[in-house]
Structure 1
């Protein structure tokens, strides 16, 4: 089930979208409001998987709202103004619906959200996969866990560095960390996660993976030494 919220300052638009949500069996309506600030706490704590977001609203428009989100969920823009399409997709929105929104068009956007949500949400009944998919711009990229070198977090997106190249996607570092195996990856800094098996060396406040130098913060240094070095250290006794 996908928990969604509707943010629109027009009562008829809110009612129409809410009625569509109730018709779709894999959507659950978690909140409706006319001002994005009203639902900000709900979104910040990760209680919403999908936002149906209007653009032109008083106090704060939809684009401004998207830019302040620390951990944005999936977003479908709903607006009467096609001129915002480019800026919306630059912010990695999932879809862009022009008002008046038909149910057919709404369902296509909802189905796209369902498919993307499945890619990000592991099924506990199934064995762990050795890969996952992420959305990079308009393309879905397959990433193998054992090819990841390290991950760098930057505000509301991450860059995944792998043996095949790098991928930039709109995810938080915390969200990605929760999906990575603890015995294979380790947080070394508030902005970096490293693949343990790919670490070539540690010196001072840095670790080395190939030609890359990654900072180790004081907060994580003891944990890094214990988990990466101590258990595998051959030392003269």
Structure 2
């Protein structure tokens, strides 16, 4: 990337600003114009100067990052940096470039800023072939065909697995690990040691749970970062 990207940092926590300043200094195509703990001051800067990118915290006094981004209204690119994962889905409604969940390493930061140079991708309708599985039910040679697109989530039950489909549930003698290996990683992710969920069936999410219609699936601490990273990659 040869073009210099002028950026500002807006965060009410000085330690967070210092870390971002350190990360920005490592990236040759980023030029830090200023850092501020005050959202209203940031707004004044954005009105006076041509800023290409804002690293924006969400939970701040005076004006939240979400509110500020709505005022900016696509005049500049935004990468949210926050400790609160529940705002991830809303951030993509605001066309954010990325959503960095604190604490994040430089590698994750760098991956986010590289997106600034990515061409806009057109999402085509899925044309997956062989998009089904045969699941063993009761009996030696009894199998039931299920379509991957109909799987909402999968629940591990000790020696059994419950596959929750759009219109029914199937119990099979198997392990969650075996089922996981048969699923496309672009469509499914593990959110807990006992749960795998379909990204396409998510209704909403908060810090600790995923909601698929009336079902609530927990997000384990071990899986939280990976899950919300996957959310931002798919821009749900």
Q: Normalising to structure 1: TM-score of the pair? A: 0.48
Higher relative contact order (CA 8 A, sep 6+): 2
Q: Normalising to structure 2: TM-score of the pair? A: 0.48
